[in-house]
Structure 1
Amino acid sequence: MKLKSFLLICFSMFFVVSTVQAATTISISVNGTTVKTDVAPFIENGTTYVPLRSVEQIEGLSIKSWNNKTKTLIISDPSKSMTFRVNNQSQSDSPLIKNNRVMVPIRFIARNFSSDVAWNAYTKTVHVAKINDKEKANLKSEDITESRIAAINIPIISTLKELTAGESSAGYFQLMFPEGESKNFFTIQNGIINHYQVKENAAWLTWSGIIGGNKNTNTFWVTNTDISSEVGQRPTSKDRLFFYNISEHSGQSQHGYISTNGEKTILGSKDMNSLNDLYPIPEEELKH
């Protein structure tokens, strides 16, 4: 995956946020891509309903059959099928018909087909993420570098309010992992620190912070003196953070670690033209 593409994925989500906030409609995002529908999704009795064909955008899902007489539909993926019967009493686990269109409860269906699903109240967006078996195997790989590459390539989900970016990072992007771990990581760009926690199908944004006036980003997880504003739950760590300070322009990555007291140690540099070129740092104690 190209570095520039990853940065666009991370921040296009927040670009869409600004656009959606100005509207009143509900958006559906599947694996980071907005699903276009000819009928607007809606919320009824706390349940978000989407047009039936929308669920086919989820990895592996298909509409196997629809019986107009019995108002019954079957949705399947390669591992199982589920039967649903239209119920116009707006039950959270049943489809309904509105304006002659079959609308389905997206959360109930997504979860029953092993997807990650979340509602962002700030952007009025339903986020759905489902990855294929190969991607899941890479996430669980015993090779920590392979697992990390998989983690930074899977879809991103956020339920947090957007923070306004600070000054431009001028083509620099920092990626950090707690020592020996691959399932949670930090990014720093344009004055904002983000923390992601990998679940089954997505990297969930759990915390964002704006770097404060002293510009010391090394101790953000030890003390809050260098964070001027934040949303979400700030993570903590008892381990060192191993970092890759990546330059999009030069195609190089400077690597090293930040100790538990915030001291930064640079260990070296290496060519890195894409995030798929992520490499092991020999000085790291692996716990994976």
Structure 2
Amino acid sequence: MKKVIVFVFFFVLTFQSWAIADAANPISVNTVNVNGKFIATDVSPIIEGRRVLVPIRTLASLGVTYQWDSKSQSAVITKGTDQIKLMANKKEAFKNNKAVQVDVPVQVSQGRILVPIRFISENFGCKASYEKLRSILFIQDGNYKVDQESLKAEDLQAARQAAISLPIQFSYKSLSSLEKPGG
């Protein structure tokens, strides 16, 4: 019984220290990777309500064009025949002139327009994912394929750059699959 109490006490203390560490180190986005290339941003992306907002200029790497109207505080983002209109501080947007809801509205920070990347990427057939371990936001268009040749390059620096441009993927086995029958 004493072992159980000690274990529970240790577990509670460990969990509390993790929670305190997470509160002291809020989630942030340090780097943006678009289609395997790291993109420099003059304003860091922010996380608002568990949604990542990126400077609108970052979208140019996806072949997206945009216009910002400072008078109406609205952005029109276009890719191919699709068009999205977003207004600063409003949760209503328009995709091809049809009203849609946005989880987090466009924001203006340090003179830059920040847009919700998941909303934009999904509406233009792209994928956005955030890797917490390295604080990297990955954005990939629907046609993006990993260049396998660059991963096997003779040039070690080029191969390393290609490898760190990939999201880390975790694969876990359940504890029950590791246990031996009757163990």
- Normalising by structure 1, report the TM-score: 0.37
- What residue identity is the alignment partner of 1:85? M
Q: Root-mean-square deviation (CA), in Å?
A: 2.9
- Given that 1:88 and 1:96 are in contact with CA atoms closer than 8 Å, whether structure 2 keeps it comes out as no
Match of 2:121 in 1: 110
- Which of 188, 212, 232 lines up with 2:171 in the alignment? 232
Unaligned runs of 5+ in 2: 1-27, 92-101, 148-153, 155-165, 174-183
CA contact (8 A) 2:33 2:136 kept: yes
Q: Give the SS at the match of 1:87.
A: coil
Q: Percent identity?
A: 23
Answer yes or no: is 1:84 the counterpart of 2:75. Answer: no
What is the DSSP-based 3-state SS (H/G/I as helix, E as strand, rest coil) of the residue aligned with 2:119?
helix
Following TM superposition, the consecutive aligned residue runs of length 4 or more in structure 1 with deviations greater than 6 angstroms are none
The superposition leaves residues 28-83 of structure 1 with CA deviations (integer Å, 9 ceiling, x where unpaired) of 1111111101111111221111111111111x3111x2211111111111131111
The answer to which structure has the higher strand fraction is 1
TM-score with structure 2 length normalisation? 0.57
- SS of residue paired to 1:40: coil
Per the TM alignment, residue 115 of structure 1 is displaced from its structure 2 partner at its CA by 0.5
Q: What is the total number of aligned residue pairs between the two structures?
A: 120
Could you tell me whether the CA contact under 8 Å between 1:120 and 1:127 is conserved in 2?
Answer: yes
* Residue equivalent to 1:47: 51
Residue 99 of structure 1: how far off its partner (Å): 2.4
**Residue 130, structure 1, aligned to residue 69, structure 2:** no
AA in 1 matched with 2:128: V
Corresponding residue number in structure 2 for 1:177: none
Structure-2 change in CA distance of 1:100 and 1:74 (3 Å): same
Higher helix share: 2
Structure 1 residue 118: deviation in Å? 1.0
Residue 33 of structure 2 is aligned to residue 29 of structure 1: yes
Superimposed CA distance per residue, residues 76-105 of structure 1 (whole angstroms, 9 cap, x where no aligned partner): 11131111111178x634211122221111
